[in-house]
Structure 1
């Protein structure tokens, strides 16, 4: 398939860029002895798991369907975690997960009998420290429901579980800040960690960021692992797929009300939700900081404030022109929705050999079926 034959909007995943990140993951594993499990909450496009799975050790989840997806399509270890399990959830995945991590001591007590003899059991702990650019994404925020607070732990629980999870980072690009958090965990839980078989340090460690000191991170992880004789895990999501994918859109209209707005055939609320939630403007490949033509890149949804960014171009935009919205893999395809009945982006992968592979395509029937399937008679 040729790119000029493809209808926008669509996501284009680049295999070579994905492998660049995965090679860094491989380097981290080899230097530290850590295991890496892909966070499916960030990226679940299983059509490219054949690229990712040889580099990683498995998957981790935030809900029962993700557990099933990881088990069926990725292989390796399957970690199950949820902020709040139902008994049905636990029974549904107990036989297919390698590790089940509970968010609270009450859930652990209620459901561990279902999991024992089937999977390794863990508990999420909240040490009260974390790293996040926004409070909305900070696991250690005030009144956090994520994990057991240090002052609420029943100390005997460490004799009854196999491992713990500390997920306290979000887009942490600062290796020294991460090491500081690791030292804090070591100080707070030192008397308990050596009773465990494994410790997950969660996700949000952006070790594929340009100029990130992977060696420094690896040495800190290796020292922690050797000190407590535990197998360490990280749960990367964004770190694996950052800068690998464009959301390709077409300018369908240009309007002006104090500033020119190029309306494209996509929407943040439907196709790139985190742009809206976190108020983080998108980056357009064709834009130019020094360009003299300034535009709002607006969506075709009815939400008044739905826009991708405000940016400059060297030349005036034209109706029918395509734009590439960069870094559009993480928390996009897993959050797609049918708001306004907009056309859902197709998903493609440009393989290393130049071949373009269609991974998914959506139709009106998918939209219709998502809303109701049976007619009341």
Structure 2
């Protein structure tokens, strides 16, 4: 049936999603931590019915995400932004359970709008982190993300309920995470002891193959008991990793020293993080050491827009389909209309075998995204 679907499209696999969610459930059971889905990573609410039984709510980075979490997921709705406007705060104060400010100045300016409606929090920057690239490092030099330890006014902890740390990006090393926990406890322990809750952010890749979830659970439970707080994690990639393929079709093959297979998709439009972080995609049909080498190039006009280089046992053919694996996190939330390319449809293959259409797009969506009214 998949061959009848028009490419490009995303295919989410329910069974793979549930496998990740079962690991999340195990972590919750052994640690007492609560998990809120990071909508900045994955907001495809058509599959929230699968995720909701396992997680405790959502966390957001902007007002529209707060609304989406409140309307389509339920549970706890955490609101955070690097920079709120007053309108933003008023828009979400009545529908969020926790509102986390990025700075002491924003907390002071807007707390009166939130008090009595939502639990108040502040983001702290511990100055330590685990991130593979500086671009994604919350503790990078001159970071604007959270309040540094030497800038904190101690009295602020008398009038907030919790704090948020976010200092990980794709951290697959449980020992490294435990080290960060120890550092936080040492730096901020006296303040944490006064609070009700602490969010440790996202970027903890506990669903990665071989990750020691039990060791993570023990560390989280110990930290929670030591400081008397309810702990939260904000998983995004950990929930949806390896669940989704971006399916594309080879539309041309060109030669210029290297052979390039051009597909009906583009990293700049449909898989932006591949381009931003220069992290090559993986192709299901590829074979390490295969006899036929290709650049998998996009159909955009950006000269350096390519998915990866890959080898195949047999030559690729025009009309052949390829599956670009692990294409859920930070993909659908970043889709754009660059070059006026066809936007991928979104499907979910349910455990029953049914393929459910979640969304599709056409020219009218492209046109409407640019203007709705003409000026005469």
Shift of 1:19: 0.2
Shift of 1:290: 1.9
Equivalences for residues 357-376 of structure 1 within 5 A: 357-376=356-375
1:25 aligned counterpart, secondary structure: helix
- In the other structure, the counterpart of 1:202 is 201
Q: Measure, in 2, the Cα distance between the counterparts of 1:288 and 1:299.
A: 20
- In the other structure, the counterpart of 2:230 is 231
- In the other structure, the counterpart of 1:255 is 254
1:309 and 2:308 correspond? yes
Q: Structure 2: any 5+ residue segments left out of the alignment? A: none
What does the per-residue CA deviation read over 1:19-62, in whole Å, with 9 as the maximum and x for residues that have no partner? Answer: 00000000000000000000000000000000001000000000
Equivalences for residues 327-346 of structure 1 within 5 A: 327-346=326-345
Q: Measure, in 1, the Cα distance between the counterparts of 2:261 and 2:15.
A: 31
- In the other structure, the counterpart of 1:7 is 6
2:372 aligned counterpart, secondary structure: coil
Q: What is the CA RMSD across the aligned residues, in angstroms?
A: 0.4
Equivalences for residues 1-377 of structure 1 within 5 A: 2-377=1-376
Q: Measure, in 2, the Cα distance between the counterparts of 1:233 and 1:74.
A: 17
1:248 aligned counterpart, secondary structure: strand
Q: Structure 1: any 5+ residue segments left out of the alignment? A: none
2:157 aligned counterpart, secondary structure: helix
Number of equivalenced pairs: 376
Shift of 1:376: 1.0
Superposition TM-score, scaled by structure 1 size: 0.99
Q: Measure, in 2, the Cα distance between the counterparts of 1:325 and 1:3.
A: 15
What does the per-residue CA deviation read over 1:69-97, in whole Å, with 9 as the maximum and x for residues that have no partner? Answer: 00000010000000000000000000000
What does the per-residue CA deviation read over 1:94-119, in whole Å, with 9 as the maximum and x for residues that have no partner? Answer: 00000000000000000000000000
Shift of 1:284: 0.0
Runs of 4+ with deviation above 3 angstroms: none
Shift of 1:149: 0.7
2:268 aligned counterpart, secondary structure: helix
